[in-house]
Amino acid sequence: MKQKKKLKVGVLVSGRGSNLQAIIDAIERGEVPAEISVVVSNVPGALALDRAAKHNIRSIVVDSKAFENKDEYEAQIIKAMEDTGADLVCLAGYMRILSPEFIERFKGRIMNIHPALLPAFPGLHVQKKALEYGVKYSGATVHFVDEGTDTGPVILQAVVPVLDDDTEESLSARILEQEHKIYPQAIKLFAEGKLKLEGRRIKVGKD
Does a structural domain hold residue 137? Answer: yes
pLDDT of residue 207: 58
Structural domain contains residue 200: no
**What CATH number did the domain enclosing 115 receive?**
3.40.50.170
- Identify whether 1 is part of a domain: no
pLDDT of residue 63: 96
Check whether 4 has a pLDDT greater than 70: no
Q: What are phi and psi of 186, to 5 degrees?
A: -65, -40
* Mean per-residue pLDDT, 137-158: 97
For 55-84, write each residue's pLDDT tens digit. Answer: 999 999 999 999 999 999 999 999 999 999
Would you please indicate which residues are annotated as catalytic (active-site) residues? 114
Residue 2, pLDDT score: 47
Q: Is residue 201 part of a domain?
A: no
Buried b (16+ CB within 10 A) or exposed e, 83-99: ebebbbbbbbbbeeebe
The one-letter amino acid at 110: I
**C-alpha span between 2 and 203 (Å, rounded):** 26
On whether residue 116 sits in a domain, the answer given is yes
Exposed e or buried b for every residue in 106-126, given b needs 16+ CB within 10 A?
beebbbbbbbbbbebbeeeeb
Q: How many residues does the chain have?
A: 207
The continuous run of DSSP H or E covering 41 comes out as strand 34-41
CA distance linking residue 38 with residue 202, whole number of Å: 27
Q: How many domains does the chain have?
A: 1
Domain assignment of residue 114, given as a range: 7-194
pLDDT, tens only, 87-139: 999 999 999 999 999 999 999 999 999 999 999 999 999 999 999 999 999 99
Q: Does the pLDDT value for residue 199 go beyond 90? A: no
DSSP, collapsed to helix, strand or coil, labels residue 7 as strand
Band the pLDDT of 30: cuts 50, 70, 90.
very high
pLDDT score for 168: 97
